[in-house]
Each structure stands twice: as structure tokens, then as C-alpha cells.
Amino acid sequence: MTEATICLDGELIIKPNGVYTLAHFYEHPETMRMVTLIGMIHFGDATYYAKINKLIASADIIIFEASIHQEAEKINDTEKESYEQEELKKIYGESVEAAFFPALCLFFNKAQHYLKMVHESESFDAKKDNWVAGDGKFGELTKEKWQQEVDIMTQNLKNAPIEEKTLLCEFFKTGLSKIENKTLQKIDFVNGLVLMENYPWLQRVMDDAMIGRRDELTFETFDKIVNERSPNSVAIKFGAAHMSYQRRLLEQRKYIRKRSIELDAIAV
């Protein structure tokens, strides 16, 4: 890769030296309230999350993505092994539609641990009094709710070109083999992100299940906080895929973007 790949309407940038997200700084022309919108990648380098902690340190209120900071369901090694075996059966024994999202999720989850990346939830204290879950209980993911979202995405996947679905699925399966053989490198992880961006239908499939209502709920929460607490500054920390719509929702409220900066999430 010799040039930058622009993803998620410009909210995720993949360069030869790594992966970047953006922070956008807004101000309301009448109230002078400052709002910082920070697009996140949910696993990355420790230095990435340290920079974001500094960015939000002075905010009166931090609004965050519920599913990222919810209390994790405790599972033992036996349950984890059983879950992975069930997913592997789907990956290697069923149709490409049934195999696709298990392969995608298992690859990125196992790659994160193998490459010793830091998960976002480990880097912030979301229990502080000024931290508020933007999408509340609606955004929290139970096993059942996650399966519902996967079912929606799998159904929507049926209309995607079979050759492209198969190519992506084979990439994830090869990545899982590299993890098993201890040969996976960070560039393989980054190449997975680049490959996914080559197929716009994939983002549409995932957006239908994950984007939209959660962002609208987040800004209902934002409005409630503004009306009740009148903070001078607010930071909103959500996945980069949410940023394009959240920026529109903020701009509908007459906030004006003053500047944006890149944040290096994963160095290669």
C-alpha cells in the first residue's frame, strides 16, 4: 500500500504507516458551547487512547458508546473454546453467507489479542459521574441482541456479489490460519480494513444493523444534558462509523466545525 485509503466518509484513514481516526471540534455561535466529536477504532495502540484521554480531560460531560463500556459478560475458558468451535463450524462448513460474519468477527477479535492491541474499554473510566451512555440500554449488546444484528446483516448479505463475498471470507480464514501458525503481522490486520473498504455494499450491510437509531438516541441524550445541565463543553466518543451521521445531527443543531485533527490509532 503506497497511498492513503479513505474510509467511512473520510472518518477512517489508512496510510502506509498506520490507521488514523479524526477528532472534530465544534462550537455553537450563540452559546459558545464547545463539542468535540471523536471517531474511535475500538482496539489500537495504547498511545492512541492516551491522546484521546488528554483531549477529553477538560470536558464537562463525556458521552460514550454503551456497547463498548458495558460490563462484559463473564465467560470461562471452556465457554470461550466452545463458542469459537461453533463459529469455526460456520466458517468452514456452511455457505459463504453463514460463514462471512463469524469469519470477520473471529479474525478481528483474535488478531487484536494476538497483536497485543489495547481495547478501548481498558483505557477509560466510564464510571465517572460526568460520563453518560449516549445510546443507553438500547446500545448495550447482549448475546441475543448481537445475534439479532448478525442475523440482519447475514440476511442483507445475500444480495452482495458472490465472488466478492467469497474473496473477503477467504481473506479472514487465511488470517485465522496465520494466527494459528503465529505468522500474523499488523500489516495483515490493516490490509483487512483496506480490503473491506473496497466493497461499499459491506458498509451498507453493517450500517443497516448498527447505525442510525443509536446515533439519534445519542443526540436525544445530548439535548437532554444541554437543557438540564448546560455544560460549557461536551465530548462525544463513538466508533468512527458513527461520525458522519453524528456530525450531521450536530450541525442540524447549528454547531459549526472549527477544525479537525488526525489521531494515529495503529502504527505499522
pLDDT tens-place string over residues 192-207: 988 888 888 887 777 7
Q: How far is it between the farthest Cα atoms of the chain?
A: 59
Averaged pLDDT, 85-108: 85
Measured in degrees and rounded to the nearest 5, phi and psi for residue 234 equal: -135, 140
Beta strands 233-239 and 61-64 are: parallel
Summarised one tens digit per residue, pLDDT across range 33-92 is 999 999 999 999 999 999 999 999 999 999 999 888 865 444 455 666 777 788 888 888
What is the crossing angle of helices 96-114 and 162-180, to 10°?
Answer: 30
Number of domains in the chain: 1
Residue 90 CB partners (closer than 8 Å, separation 6+): 98, 99, 102
Using CB atoms within 10 Å of the CB of residue 177, give its burial: 0 to 12 exposed, 13 to 18 middle, 19+ buried.
exposed
The residue with cell 483474535 is 110
116 backbone dihedrals φ, ψ, rounded to 5°:
60, 40
| pLDDT value at residue 72 | 47
Per the prediction, the chain carries an average pLDDT of: 88
221, 134 in Cβ contact below 8 A? yes
- DSSP 8-state symbol, 141: -
Name the pLDDT band for 143 (thresholds 50, 70, 90). low
**CA-only gyration radius of the chain, Å:** 19
Domain residues for 256?
5-267
Beta-sheet strands, E only, within 47-106: 61-64
Cα distance between residue 139 and residue 133, in whole Å: 8
Per-residue pLDDT, averaged over 213-236, amounts to: 95
